[in-house]
Structure 1
Amino acid sequence: MSAVLQFHQLTIELIHFLENADIDRDDKITQTEALLSQREAHMMAIVPPYTSEEMAAGKEINQLNMKLSQLLKVEKASVQKDIKGLQSKKESNTKYVNPYQSLSTDGMYYDRRK
């Protein structure tokens, strides 16, 4: 099987994997990274001249790449949302534990005389 067809097959596999919502996020990220690295290795192995079958697969790969890009953006947004939520929880927990920590001392009277 040529590198173009293997790249095409890995792209389809990655899209199906990202569309599956039943998988734990950590496993999903690990598997996605592995598939992307395999895909990158096959992409580096693609060299012309191309057969007609490879040309057809290449046209389909362009469409699949757009769909893959959207799915990866959705995953990234989900992870960023969770990170932001965790940071806000951490900040609110810190404020609850020590509510006077963030108070400004500006304007405080300081007497140097003894």
Structure 2
Amino acid sequence: MSAVKILLEITKNLFDHVSKGLPKEEREPYIERLNELLDQRQAIMDKLPSEYSDEDQRMGQMIVKMNETIEPLLVRQFEEIKHNLSMMKKKKEKNVQYANPYQTLSADGMYFDKKN
């Protein structure tokens, strides 16, 4: 089987996986599978030949079209994950602050009025 055909199959699997969308729960298996597919695809891309037959070029065009859809979906999912992580960090900080509101006070006994 040619490297381009294998790349096409992996790209189809990646396209199907990304098209399902980022799940609300149990994201770790989704992300692990995504990383696995991306690693497989990169390994095959490193093995691509320098010259292509007509069928390889046709399959390459299909890969490029799928990649045009995959790329924005991956960017959107990455941004959503980043946003969720920052929200979790803020919630964690607020929970710590709520649990011990006097933790951030100065140890030297100074008092700063926060009302201006």
Task: Give the shorter-chain TM-score range.
Answer: 0.7 to 0.9
Corresponding residue of 1:75: 77
**Deviation string for 1:61-84 (max 9, x for gaps)?**
222222111121122112112211
Deviation at 1:105, TM superposition (A): 7.2
Tell me how large the CA RMSD over aligned residues is: 2.3
Deviation at 1:29, TM superposition (A): 0.6
Deviation at 1:100, TM superposition (A): 2.5
State the aligned residue count: 109
Paired amino acid for 1:42 = I
TM-score calculated relative to the size of structure 2? 0.80
**Deviation string for 1:18-51 (max 9, x for gaps)?**
1124863111111111111111111011012211
Corresponding residue of 1:13: 13
Alignment of 1:72-111 (within 5 A): 72-103=74-105, 108=110
Q: Percent identity?
A: 32
User: Runs of 4+ in structure 1 displaced over 6 angstroms?
Assistant: none
1:22–1:43 distance in 2 versus 1, CA, 3 Å: closer
Q: Which moved more, 1:30-39 or 1:13-22?
A: 13-22
- The gaps in structure 2 that reach 5 residues or longer are 112-116
TM-score calculated relative to the size of structure 1? 0.82
Corresponding residue of 1:38: 40
Deviation at 1:103, TM superposition (A): 4.0
